[in-house]
Structure 1
Amino acid sequence: MAFSSNSSGGGPMADINVTPLVDVMLVLLIIFMITAPLMSHKVKVELPQATLDSKPEILVPPVTVAVKSNGEIFWNDEKVNKDLLEARLAVMAQEVPQRQLDIRADNSTRYQIIADVVRSARVAGIRKVGFVSTPER
Structure 2
Amino acid sequence: MARTFRRKQSAHPIADLNVTNLIDLGFILLVIFMIATPLMQQEQKIPVNLPIESVSAQPKPEKERSESITIQADGTVHIGDRGYSIKQLDVEFARFSAETKPPVIHLRLDAKATAQQFVTVMDSLKKHNLTRIAFDTQVAR
TM-score scaled by structure 1?
0.56
2:81 is aligned, of 68, 77, 82, to 77
Aligned position for 1:132 = 136
Q: Point out where structure 2 has 5 or more consecutive residues left out of the alignment.
A: 1-59
Aligned position for 2:107 = 103
2:73 and 2:113 in contact (8 A); partners too: yes
Shift of 1:94: 1.4
**For residues 98 and 86 of structure 1, what CA distance do their matches in structure 2 show?**
15
1:58 is aligned, of 48, 60, 63, to 63
Matched letter for residue 96 of structure 2:
M
Q: How many residue pairs were aligned?
A: 83
Q: In percent, how many aligned pairs have the same letter? A: 18
Shift of 1:59: 3.2
Instruction: Note closer, same or farther for the CA distance 1:56–1:68 as it changes in structure 2 (3 Å cut).
Output: closer
- Of structures 1 and 2, the larger Rg is shown by 1
Provide, for residues 10-52 of structure 1, a one-character-per-residue CA deviation record: whole Å limited to 9, x for no partner. xxxxxxxxxxxxxxxxxxxxxxxxxxxxxxxxxxxxxxxxxxx
1:69 and 1:110 in contact (8 A); partners too: yes
The answer to whether 1:94 aligns with 2:107 is: no
**For residues 56 and 113 of structure 1, what CA distance do their matches in structure 2 show?**
26
Larger relative strand fraction: 2
Q: Point out where structure 1 has 5 or more consecutive residues left out of the alignment.
A: 1-54
Shift of 1:105: 1.3
TM-score scaled by structure 2?
0.54
Matched letter for residue 59 of structure 1:
E
Q: Which has the higher contact order (CA 8 A, sep 6+)?
A: 2
How big is the alpha-carbon RMSD for the aligned residues of Structure 1 and Structure 2?
A: 1.8
